[in-house]
Chain A
Amino acid sequence: MSVTEMFSYLQGFLSADQDVREDIRKVVQTLEQTAREILTVLQSVHQPSGFKEIPGKCAKARELFCTVRTQIAQLKTKFPVEQYYRFHEHWRFVLQRLAFLSAFVVYLESESLVTRGEVAQILGIEVVQDRGFHLDLEDYLAGVLIMASELSRLAVNSVTAGDYSRPIRISNFINELDSGFRLLNLKNDPLRKRYDGLKYDVKKIEEVVYDLSIRGLAKEAESVSDK
Chain B
Amino acid sequence: MKKRGGEECQQKSANVGQDLEARANPASAVLSVFKVFQQELDIKHDKYERLVKISRDVTIESKRTIFLLHRVTSVPDAEALLSEADTKLEAVRQKIGQIAEELRGEDIYQFHRAFTPGIQEFVEAASFLHYIRHRSLISLEEINARLVFVGSKELDNKDSAGSPEALTFQVTPSDYLLGVADLTGELMRLCISSVGNGDIDTPFQLSQFLRQIHDGFSYIGNTGPYEVSKKLHTLRQSLGKVEDACYTLRVRGSEIPKHMLADVFSSRSALVDPDEGSA
Contact = CB atoms under 8 A, between A and B. Distances in A.
Interface in B123-158: 136-137, 139-141
A141 B173 CA distance: 33
Given A10-B177, A14-B224, A137-B40, A179 B13 contact: no
B267 interface: no
Interface stretch (B22-30, B67-75, B88-96): B22-30
Contact of B42 (A13, A182, A185): A185
Contact of A14 (B17, B24, B223): B223
Given A3-B212, A183-B20, A115 B33 contact: yes
Contacts of A175: 24
A75 interface: no
A185 B45 contact: yes
A84 B111 CA distance: 12
B219 interface: yes
B24 A176 contact: yes
B37 A86 contact: no
Interface residues of B, number: 43
A180 B109 contact: no
- Of A13, A177, A186, most B-chain CB atoms within 10 Å: A13
Contacts of B257: none
A96 B107 CA distance: 20
Contact of A10 (B13, B28, B31, B220): B220
Contacts of A84: 107, 109-110
- The main secondary structure of chain A at its interface with chain B is helix
A179 B42 contact: no
A174 to B, nearest CB: 11
Contacts of A138: 41
Nearest to A181: B34
B122 interface: no
A185 B13 contact: yes
Contacts of A113: 29-30, 33
B23 A179 contact: yes
A8 B221 CA distance: 12
B41 A184 contact: yes
Contacts of B174: 14
Interface string B1-36: 000000000000100110010011100111101110
Given A85-B109, A183-B38, A177 B30 contact: yes
B139 A7 contact: no
A177 B31 CA distance: 8
Interface string A56-97: 000000000000000000000000001111101000000000
Nearest to A87: B109
Given A84-B107, A113-B30, A183-B13, A141 B37 contact: yes
A186 B45 CA distance: 9
B42 A3 contact: no
A11 B217 CA distance: 9
A224 interface: no
A186 B209 contact: no
A129 B216 contact: no
A174 B181 CA distance: 51
Given A86-B107, A182-B16, A184-B41, 19 more contacts: A3-B216, A10-B173, A10-B176, A11-B219, A13-B173, A82-B107, A83-B109, A84-B110, A85-B110, A113-B30, A115-B33, A141-B37, A179-B24, A179-B30, A183-B17, A183-B31, A183-B35, A185-B42, A185-B45
Interface of A: 1-4, 6-11, 13-15, 18, 82-86, 88, 113, 115, 129, 137-138, 141, 175-177, 179-187
The 5 lowest CB-CB distance pairs between A and B, nearest first, are A7-B216, A180-B34, A85-B109, A85-B110, A86-B109
